Structure 1
Amino acid sequence: MLPRPARRTRTRRASRILLALAAMAALTSVDVPDAAAGPPFGVTAQALPDASADRVGALFSGGGLDGGHFCTAAVVHSDDRDVIATAAHCLGDPDTTVFAPGYRDGEAPYGVWKVTGVHVAPGWTDGEDPDDDIAFATVAPVDEGRSGAVEDLVGGFPVAAEQPADATVTVIGYPRTDETPLRCANTTSLFSDTQRRIECPDLSGGTSGSPWLVHGALAGVLGGHEGGGAVPEVSYSAVMGDQAVELYREAADEG
């Protein structure tokens, strides 16, 4: 393999520096809740209502809450305040998928939101590459009488790429069989250069797309290797790099 041209390497390094600076700016300019508050490391418990949990919601099929929730998503910060993040494999049928932030016990306190646009990487579209199992989508209220954007109601997590291998991550998500979200935090490790791993029990089917939060900022979503994990005790996320940040920017610009 021929060595990468030095100019491209310098350009990529400069791009990563700019991404890091942008992430730092986001963290200082956006209200960041304490996503680490909760049970001890490695223990999964019900997520109590708070600023972080309210930004996380369940994805439902069939265009309404009667269809049953099958994945999780979270509101992320954008200028038009209408962007959510989830796993790419959760948005196979966006026309009938709706998002209910803060969903609990059959109630959607912040309304129900339909998907209006989806942004996934070509690697996922062409071959469902697990390294590209992250998506950003724009949403609008199902109720045409509702004004404003989803972020106006619950706020949004900033997006922060290029996290260290041993970052401490908080995961908040909805198992398919539960009507309230679960929360678990633990130190992560790299399963590979492109996949992050966390040990948290009971993160079963339905938690795909759950935000992985580092200091209150989105650093990944549950998905990737084995669709996010073959057993509930171990979960994965594709490492969020330049491609994912570009998708985020595209979604933010769409609004």
Structure 2
Amino acid sequence: MGAVFGSSGMSGSHFCTASVVDSARGDLILSAAHCMDSTSDVFVPAYHDGIAPYGVWHLDRIVVDQQWSADSDPDDDVAFGIVAPSDGRTIQSVVGGDELGIDQGTSNPVTIVGYPQTSQAPLTCTNRISSFSSTQLEIGCTGFTGGTSGSPWVAGGIPGTVIGVLGGYETGGDTPDISYSVAFGPSVENLYQEAASDRTD
């Protein structure tokens, strides 16, 4: 997991969260679509207190659902970023990555790690999830304010299986104590396959 900064990098402020997701090429991060709209943004895994222990990583391409591009449908608030290599290494080879979980239901608790804009360290919460609707998941976690959008919902420990990202309904929620995610189904799996098969070289 890590923080997303704008084009000025760490000299600016972080505004969203993302995580590395396992792929054959090892170059994918996952976040909310409303977080990822510019390849000028950078990803800083394990960011804390002004330190980038694994470096600053740049984006080559962002992949979002066509329905998100058309009308910002909250049921499509998921994005994959294709990360450029650094010093000949992929981001996954440096920090590892979570498996992508599709149609996982709500039986397992999840751990969320996110970066509030007002903090220089991540916030972590583990709790059980529930279905908010047929297309959205819900969780109660305290303090997930602006900046935590895109935070992965990880089942089975860390690294584990990411089954959601903070976003979706009300772009993740209108209070800091209740958060939402798109329920990962076939459309997210198709989006992942599109991103995983994209060639940037």
Equivalent residue number for residue 163 of structure 1: 104
Cα drift, residue 185 of structure 1: 0.8
Q: State the identity %.
A: 46
Cα drift, residue 100 of structure 1: 0.4
Cα drift, residue 163 of structure 1: 1.3
Whether 1:81 and 2:22 are equivalent positions in the alignment is no
Aligned to 2:120, the other structure's residue is in SS state coil
Alignment equivalent of 1:190, drawn from 122, 125, 131: 131
Q: Is the 8 A contact 2:47 2:121 kept in 1?
A: yes
Alignment equivalent of 1:221, drawn from 165, 169, 172: 165
Structure 1, unpaired ranges of 5+: 1-55
Whether 1:101 and 2:101 are equivalent positions in the alignment is no
CA distance in 2, matches of 1:248, 1:164: 19
Cα drift, residue 118 of structure 1: 1.0
Structure 2, unpaired ranges of 5+: none
Q: Is the 8 A contact 2:77 2:182 kept in 1?
A: yes
When the two structures are superposed, what TM-score results if normalisation uses the length of structure 2?
Answer: 0.94
Equivalent residue number for residue 209 of structure 1: 150
AA at the equivalent of 2:5: F
Cα drift, residue 103 of structure 1: 0.6
CA distance in 1, matches of 2:82, 2:39: 12
Q: Which entry has the higher C-alpha Rg, 1 or 2?
A: 1
Equivalent residue number for residue 14 of structure 1: none
Q: Is the 8 A contact 2:23 2:196 kept in 1?
A: yes
Whether 1:131 and 2:75 are equivalent positions in the alignment is yes
AA at the equivalent of 1:176: Q
Aligned to 1:153, the other structure's residue is in SS state helix
Cα drift, residue 63 of structure 1: 4.0
Cα drift, residue 96 of structure 1: 1.8
CA distance in 2, matches of 1:79, 1:63: 30
CA distance in 2, matches of 1:83, 1:238: 19
AA at the equivalent of 2:55: G
Q: Is the 8 A contact 1:174 1:182 kept in 2?
A: yes
Cα drift, residue 150 of structure 1: 0.5
When the two structures are superposed, what TM-score results if normalisation uses the length of structure 1?
Answer: 0.75
CA distance in 2, matches of 1:165, 1:81: 28
Q: Is the 8 A contact 2:106 2:128 kept in 1?
A: no
Q: Give the structure with the higher percent helix.
A: 1
Q: Is the 8 A contact 2:39 2:62 kept in 1?
A: no
Can you list the C-alpha shifts for 1:27-86, whole angstroms capped at 9, x where unaligned? Answer: xxxxxxxxxxxxxxxxxxxxxxxxxxxxx0000012411121000000011111110000
CA distance in 2, matches of 1:151, 1:166: 28
CA distance in 1, matches of 2:138, 2:39: 31
Aligned residues: 196
CA distance in 1, matches of 2:189, 2:175: 28
Equivalent residue number for residue 69 of structure 1: 14
Equivalent residue number for residue 91 of structure 1: 36
Q: Is the 8 A contact 1:167 1:189 kept in 2?
A: no
**RMSD of the TM alignment (CA)?**
1.1
Equivalent residue number for residue 141 of structure 2: 200
Aligned to 2:43, the other structure's residue is in SS state strand
Q: Is the 8 A contact 1:63 1:114 kept in 2?
A: no
Aligned to 1:95, the other structure's residue is in SS state coil
AA at the equivalent of 1:253: S
CA distance in 2, matches of 1:156, 1:95: 21
Q: Which runs of 4+ in 1 moved over 3 A?
A: none
CA distance in 2, matches of 1:219, 1:186: 14
